[in-house]
Amino acid sequence: MSKPEGATYQKYLPRIDEESRGYWEALARHELYFQRCRDCGTKRFYPRAVCPVCLSSSTEWVRASGRGTVYTFTVTHQNQAPGYRDALPYVLAVVELAEGVRLMTNVVECAPDTVRVGMPVEIVFQDVTPEMTLPMFRPV
């Protein structure tokens, strides 16, 4: 788990809005949730108020195990944006959670060149500011 970087954090900070607040608040408690429609049962990520399958507004939050596998990844060697250029090389990845939904993330706590598609990973809750925790993953 990383230390909060506070005011020095230069990377993109998500905007918490009314559709996503529950997701980000859970991450701050070091819990990962996705949504499931109470009417049609479809799981969805990222969080949104209306189920795009059946247009229901009736939604429940489902806690994820935090385990998954790398669906795809890239080792980023060039990014001029503040914050990211100081973190090169870093692994941008799409992880498929054990529950079946995919999310974009970083694979951390390993040498970038050891990451492979299909690699089992588990969640690392990165407290990037006192208010914001991001879901990242490390090899199991």
Q: Choose between 63 and 102: whose C-beta lies nearer to another protein.
A: 102
Per DSSP (E only), the strands in 3-139 are 33-37, 43-44, 59-63, 67-76, 90-97, 102-107, 120-127, 133-139
Residue 103 engages another protein in binding (rule: CB under 8 A): yes
Give the residue from 136, 108, 135, 106 showing the smallest Cα distance to 32.
135
Q: Quote the tokens at residue 71.
A: 């669906």
Locate tokens 């970087």: which residue?
5
Q: Quote the tokens at residue 66.
A: 């935090």
CB of 48 to another protein, least distance (A): 7
Q: Which residues from 31-70 bind another protein, rule CB under 8 A?
A: 34, 42-46, 48, 52-53
CB of 140 to another protein, least distance (A): 19
CB of 60 to another protein, least distance (A): 15
Q: Which residues bind another protein (CB under 8 A)?
A: 11-15, 17, 19-20, 34, 42-46, 48, 52-53, 71-82, 84, 87, 90, 92-94, 100-106, 117-118, 128, 134, 136
